[in-house]
Amino acid sequence: MAQREGSILCPSCRKLIHSSEPSCPYCGATAPGLVRAPRSLDALIGPDADTSLWLVGAVAGMYVLSLVLDPSAVTRTLQSFSLYTAFAPSGGILYTLGMTGGIAIIFGGWWTVLTSSFLHASLVHVAFELMWTRSIGQLVASYFGPARLLVLWFVTGAIGHTLYNLLSDQPLVGADANICGLLGALIAFGRRRGGAGGAELMKRMTVITALFLGMPLLFGASLNTADLGGFATGLVLGSVMPMADQARETRAVQLTALAFIGLTVLGVMASAVRLGPMMLGGP
């Protein structure tokens, strides 16, 4: 049902417009005069949603789940302790929960480019990435919006992992590509914002990005193509994505973010069904 006469508040940007407008002249929302149920969606993923905390909770939860399903990880740690491999889930468990690359791609697990971001190889690995996800994620949410943070997280991670899978047949877990994507978006934001504040943000995020991309080189590894792909994607999206103080997040963005969450949950289930029995020796 549409409200055909008078003025209304745009359900996206909350500015006063005429109900007959085909799109909001301020934020571009389509058919703002249609009576929808925006309040319930805003209550879930509105401007005050702490989506960086959602990501932290999901990453931490998946790591705990990987240990619960693989108690031998604790035993291995006690038998031969190493800081960088402490509490490391087995490859079988990681494949079951959605690790990308290798066997997962051979068996058509395209969804693992989403799910692998929430899996980690050790306690140090997950702790490091939880710290950066929270701190960098909060910045992205404040500059672009909480739903756009989720879209950036999922898209940059998925593209980074897809690029990796095209160039490598080795398994991969972790949110490095996603974090690099957020860093790229913040560098783009600083350039768009300009001034002393924008320049300082670009400088800080460039230093952090160099650490992320250069750290593998210190251990004799090569540059991770997933990280490079995520970073490049973040730069592009950060250059074109509306900023929070210029355009309120639309229903389309909020629904897209929730759709990515749904796809990831379904992806974990798909990995468990397709790869779980084979990797864990079940029937």
Q: What is the mean pLDDT of each run of 10 residues along the chain (283 residues)?
A: 56 69 73 55 87 97 94 78 82 95 92 97 93 96 96 98 94 95 97 93 94 74 84 97 88 95 97 86 53
Count other Cβ atoms within 10 Å, centred on residue 172. 26
pLDDT of the residue at 220: 57
pLDDT of the residue at 35: 43
Q: Do the Cβ atoms of 158 and 98 come closer than 8 Å?
A: no
The DSSP bridge partners found for residue 8 are: 17
Topology annotation, domain 49-280: Rhomboid-like fold (1.20.1540)
* Closest among 62, 89, 231 to 171, alpha carbons compared: 89
Q: Do the Cβ atoms of 2 and 33 come closer than 8 Å?
A: yes
Burial of 281 by CB count in 10 Å (0-12 exposed, 13-18 middle, 19+ buried)? exposed
pLDDT of the residue at 223: 67
pLDDT of the residue at 212: 83
DSSP annotation string for 49-69: --HHHHHHHHHHHHHHHHHHT
pLDDT of the residue at 16: 74
For residue 25, the SS3 value is coil
pLDDT of the residue at 196: 93
How is the chain split into domains, by residue range? 1-36, 49-280
pTM: 0.84
pLDDT of the residue at 278: 81
